Structure 1
Amino acid sequence: MKVVAFKRELQGTGASRRLRNSGQTPGIIYGGSEAPVTIALDHNALFHALKKEAFHSSVLDMEIDGVTQPVLLRDFQMHAYKQLVLHADFQRVDANTKVHLKVALHFVNAEVSPAVKLHAATISHVANEIEVLCLPSALPEFITVDLSNVEVGQSVHVSDIKLPEGVTAVTHGKNLTIATVSVPAGQVSAEAAAAPAPEAKKGKK
């Protein structure tokens, strides 16, 4: 994904306010061997890009004054109640240095799992993203979590995810839970519904 930015010389609260009033968003690029560079981006383009999942977990091609460099979105600040991006931070990327980033989880096949088909269970997503470590070239846009074999009472952990080649989950020594399975109170499972009803006892003559 490509991002176009411009170097900005003026800094400070007043300069940033004037920049936002002109339809631009202040930002900064840092990291690597070069000094940090303050930049300005088109607000509307940035606002719509932030709605895209890939923008948060992909290496971006940022063009400044005709020169393109790979960067990652590291942080951004939104106005408390307006649809306004106040600031954005980007980090330079080295192709040979691993990056540490949060990547979204996409849960699939829940509807065909034994938990849902046989027991009408509810699968709750405890986490919608995980931290990963990998080279920029191996960075996935998202990670798929296959729930097709999940049973009632089972929890899905980070260790259950099949990660793309070259990608390592950062769990800080914990096998984090990302989904849980439970049957709502009063819910009748398909197995129970299909079971024959017990015969009524015959009264004594």
Structure 2
Amino acid sequence: MEPELEVRKRLDKTSSHTHEIRNKGLIPAVVYGKNIGAMAIEVDAKELQKILAEAGSNALISMKINENGKTKKHKVLVKAVQRDPLRRVLVHADFHQISLKDRIHTTVPVVLNGTAPGVVMGGVLTPLLRRVEVECLPTQIPDAITVDISGLEVGDVISVADLVLPPDVRINEDLHAAVVTVAAPGREPVETVAEPDEEKAEPAGAGEEEPPK
């Protein structure tokens, strides 16, 4: 069951009101989507922080919006948060209202699992891609993409094409991009740009006429 977050529509958008609600433990936020437009709201900072800590940044949230004594429910995702640079507390948040039937794009962390034999032999484990963009239904967002590095020797590379994805989850990254490598001791990994697959190369100006040769 997804976490619930009760919020209130924010009518007063002045800086003085923002200061006032922050003193009460609330933060200004915005929720937007095709069924709701863009709405300014007030959110309990501790409740939101608890959801982020327990369910993660990609948690599907059941948001209850209180407006003029009436409550409406929407499924939302946290799109972005802002934190105080010193205290690291939440100061603002953006939410995206979504439909459970529509596929969405989001990013998920890459988690390395295991011990690489190349590291045991003195190589340097070098993560090159810490998050990847995926496309899936809101109910199928993975917590992370786990990468097994237990077979990596010195000089080996795991690319995006090697990632194991959950069913019905697609990845929106360059399949040739390196995710992690084990570099030889004293050598920095060299990032290479892979040549495009000729069979899958997109024609110049997709959807437009090609320029004359």
TM-score (norm 1): 0.79
Query: Which of 101, 105, 119 is 2:110 aligned to?
Result: 105
Number of the residue aligned with 1:180 = 181
Alignment partners' CA distance in 2, 1:105 and 1:41:
30
Alignment partners' CA distance in 2, 1:55 and 1:64:
21
Instruction: Structure 1: give runs of 5+ residues left out of the alignment.
Output: 187-205
**Percent pairwise identity:** 27
Contact kept? 2:161, 2:175, Cα under 8 Å: no
Structure 2 residue identity aligned to 1:114: P
Runs of 4+ residues over 6 Å off in structure 1: none
Alignment partners' CA distance in 2, 1:127 and 1:2:
32
Q: SS of the counterpart of 1:56?
A: coil
- Structure 1 residue 102: Cα displacement: 0.7
Structure 1 residue identity aligned to 2:23: N
Q: Pairwise mapping of residues 84-163 of structure 1 onto structure 2 (< 5 A)? A: 84-109=89-114, 111=115, 113-117=116-120, 119-163=121-165
Higher Rg of the two aligned structures? 1
Specify which structure has the bigger relative contact order, considering alpha-carbon pairs within 8 angstroms and separated by 6 or more residues: 1
Structure 2 residue identity aligned to 1:86: V
Query: Which of 43, 46, 70 is 1:44 aligned to?
Result: 46
Q: SS of the counterpart of 2:181?
A: strand
Structure 2 residue identity aligned to 1:45: E
Contact kept? 1:7, 1:37, Cα under 8 Å: yes
Distance change >3 Å, CA 50–CA 95, structure 1 → 2: closer
Report how many aligned residue pairs link the two structures.
Answer: 181
Alignment partners' CA distance in 1, 2:59 and 2:123:
34
Q: SS of the counterpart of 1:36?
A: strand
Instruction: Structure 2: give runs of 5+ residues left out of the alignment.
Output: 188-213
1:130-180 CA distance string (max 9 Å, x none): 111111122111111111221210122111100111111111x45222212
Question: Cα RMSD over matched residues?
Answer: 2.0
Higher helix proportion, which one?
1
Contact kept? 2:8, 2:43, Cα under 8 Å: yes
TM-score (norm 2): 0.77
Alignment partners' CA distance in 2, 1:49 and 1:137:
16
1:63-85 CA distance string (max 9 Å, x none): 22344321111011112223332
